[in-house]
Copies of this chain bind each other. A is one copy, B any other.
């Protein structure tokens, strides 16, 4: 049905770009890893940048289905769902660094100035994923009477923290530091919703 080479190239891009970055990834290397020829590459993508933008979009779809089927939605309390989401993100941090870090977070640092299409695709990926958290956050804000924070801003903050955790893991060459950072994020959410003289933990 769908062309095979295209899917293999997008899959190869996930791996190679997360390992070496976008600019350092050559079209030839991508083709070799995907087991296709250069002709196939430029048949499916009009340029290397177009492949990158397509990879970012494909990343959005891949992560969307991963998180949609994840178990953290199965809590009655919205705050419990948020905390379970954070735990789930922590559980994903295992194996090689290139296997759990974020494709679009890596790419956007190289492309934000020079490639607007890639930048836009990366932002759609990050903000689109953040939006899937907004409903739960909004419900928790109302249930626990938190003020001074918007659901959109807090949702983005979870993503910022996780992206930063990945940078530290890469710099230290140690996944453990990323887990520590996500623990801080969880503590922040707990404090935010259960402290500071707010009305009730269970309304």
Number of copies: 2
Contact in complex: A108, B195 (CB < 8 Å): no
Contact A171 B108 (CB under 8 A): yes
From A19-27, A33-41, A86-94, A135-143, the one touching the partner chain is A19-27
CA distance A95 to B108 in the complex (A): 19
When C-beta atoms are compared, the residue in chain B nearest to A97 turns out to be B112
B-facing residues in A4-53 (Cβ within 8 Å) = 19-24
Min distance, Cβ A188 to any Cβ of chain B, angstroms: 4
Q: Judging by beta carbons under 8 Å apart, are B159 and A119 in contact?
A: no
A-B contact pairs, 29 of them (CB 8 A): A20-B23, A20-B110, A21-B22, A22-B23, A97-B113, A98-B113, A105-B109, A105-B167, A112-B171, A119-B170, A119-B171, A122-B171, A123-B171, A126-B171, A127-B171, A154-B184, A156-B168, A156-B177, A156-B181, A157-B181, A160-B161, A160-B184, A163-B168, A164-B164, A164-B165, A184-B188, A188-B191, A188-B192, A195-B196
